[in-house]
Chains A and B, each alone.
Chain A
């Protein structure tokens, strides 16, 4: 997903002179083709996220479309004020491409776990947040980022993530994609956890429960119209995200459902990382297993909400 995203920045930059790339201190060889062929619009500015984001804002105020890339935690936490003021307040066309959203960097420990990035970015007015589910979807997203107004946070998965998106379903920033259709339960997810939702929906179908899977690739602005329209049909709603349950997709969905005032109220549960600093290392898969961000846990949660039992 990361490689596809950066490759596309290069392809887009060849066609559009407004496009600039800024990295911090990325892996050797990253975008070598861009650096060699368009050196005037390629910047590697060192481990200085505050400066990079401010500099990107300055270029964008001059009409550039600036793609910034580094690790998700450093793009959200380290330079948060630059993101809020330089990007959000000025509402400029800077795209933050964030490596390792979620627990991708599990072996590297808590400094590198971007489990709060969506919550942080949701609090920034004018910010758009997109979490594609695979490289194919990234290909559909990137051309739309060129002229989309305002700053965008693009959350990347691990790379080599299984392809689960459907090329037949059109991708539009801000428009949720209905992946499967069902009237019993609504599974809302974003990013790579779409795979879990789809597997859970298939298993639930086999046991007679029909599920709508709504891929909320754009967490902000949230497609409330799609969310409420699907929510109105079902008894129970479950959100699945590789993120803290505080303030992310689950929080966003909960806010909308609560204010919609369904009567009777919908059963609702968030699957994600609890309000803790994850302990231990391992891999993305083992950490997600540990916190129950799994197909099995999704099925169990649905059964609990719909039948009052766990399987």
Chain B
């Protein structure tokens, strides 16, 4: 696996981050670090992996996607606008009283399957969707992105026990493993290591991947599941705040409020100058 910090962002990754920054500035707040660490995971899912029709967001055959770490919503909203689920103008009403998009995703937004925000809910909801596909003989797949801080929740592991028991090959959990949570590093707050072994022990087929390397992500995510008789756990090694040097792995950038136009400009400048 290549080094997530060393990955140079291509133009599409930078363009998506520019939209995130503009959205952040419009709402004057947001979880920047979490959104930046997610960009390539969501980009590859929406560009190359998920089956959907943005004009028919409830099409029964669509793949289900749940952003369980709902605070990463700036990246999700950007993708939903990029793909035409929502109008781009909605982004500029982020967190406004007349807007559709708030600080956590809600199920009334086209393309959002479930309301998340409180951590540890998305996996069980996704598990129910995946089991429904099995009952119905439907071919759709279910993907859930969880956070590393979120993995402190017991409910994540309750859902993992069930998914493993049911040998759900149509169910994929991606961990955005940027190794930082709100207070400090995951190593300090609640160490998850050995993380891959944990998922393996719960009955998952596990892959470690550089979560900012679109080629590596594509390679793994277009060949799911690695084992048809097991749910998949894709551990995406990422950098919190990826793309803006002064925000990378900087706890102050977990959540920002009172973001000014000048702050946004500074972020964009740093993004353009990034490795």
Residues of A within 8 A of B127 (CB): 51, 54-55, 58
* A214: interface (CB < 8 Å): no
Report the minimal beta-carbon distance from A175 to chain B, rounded to whole angstroms.
31
Which residues of chain A from 54 to 105 have a CB within 8 Å of any chain B CB? 54-64, 81-82, 85-86, 89-90
Residue from the set A53, A62, A81, A82 with the largest chain B CB neighbour count within 10 Å = A62
Q: Which among B115, B126, B155, B158 is the interface contact of A58 at CB below 8 angstroms?
A: B126
Which residues of chain B from 107 to 150 have a CB within 8 Å of any chain A CB? 107, 113-115, 118, 120-121, 123-132, 134-136
* B154: interface (CB < 8 Å): yes
* B161: interface (CB < 8 Å): yes
B128 lies within 8 A of A58 (CB): yes
A20 lies within 8 A of B135 (CB): yes
A57 lies within 8 A of B125 (CB): yes
Q: Which 9 A-B pairs have the closest CB atoms?
A: A58-B128, A54-B124, A51-B158, A48-B158, A58-B125, A55-B128, A62-B132, A50-B155, A59-B128
Name the residue on A nearest B132 (C-beta).
A62
* A280: interface (CB < 8 Å): no
Residues of A within 8 A of B128 (CB): 54-62
A64 lies within 8 A of B159 (CB): no
Q: What is the total of A-B residue contacts with beta carbons within 8 Å?
A: 90
Stretch at the interface among A38-46, A129-137, A226-234, A294-302: A38-46
A40 lies within 8 A of B125 (CB): no
Report the minimal beta-carbon distance from A159 to chain B, rounded to whole angstroms.
29
Name the residue on A nearest B123 (C-beta).
A54
Question: Looking at chain A, what size class is its interface with the partner chain?
Answer: 20 to 34
A85 lies within 8 A of B121 (CB): yes
B118 lies within 8 A of A61 (CB): no
B125 lies within 8 A of A48 (CB): no
Report the minimal beta-carbon distance from A209 to chain B, rounded to whole angstroms.
51
* B162: interface (CB < 8 Å): yes
Residue from the set B126, B130, B131 with the largest chain A CB neighbour count within 10 Å = B131
Report the minimal beta-carbon distance from A82 to chain B, rounded to whole angstroms.
7
Given A48-B158, A89-B115, answer yes or no on A54-B121 (Cβ-Cβ < 8 Å): yes
B162 lies within 8 A of A48 (CB): yes
A53 lies within 8 A of B124 (CB): yes
Residues of B within 8 A of A64 (CB): 132, 135
Residues of B within 8 A of A51 (CB): 124, 127, 155, 158-159, 161-162
Residues of B within 8 A of A59 (CB): 128-129, 131-132
Report the minimal beta-carbon distance from B91 to chain A, rounded to whole angstroms.
23
Report the minimal beta-carbon distance from B103 to chain A, rounded to whole angstroms.
15
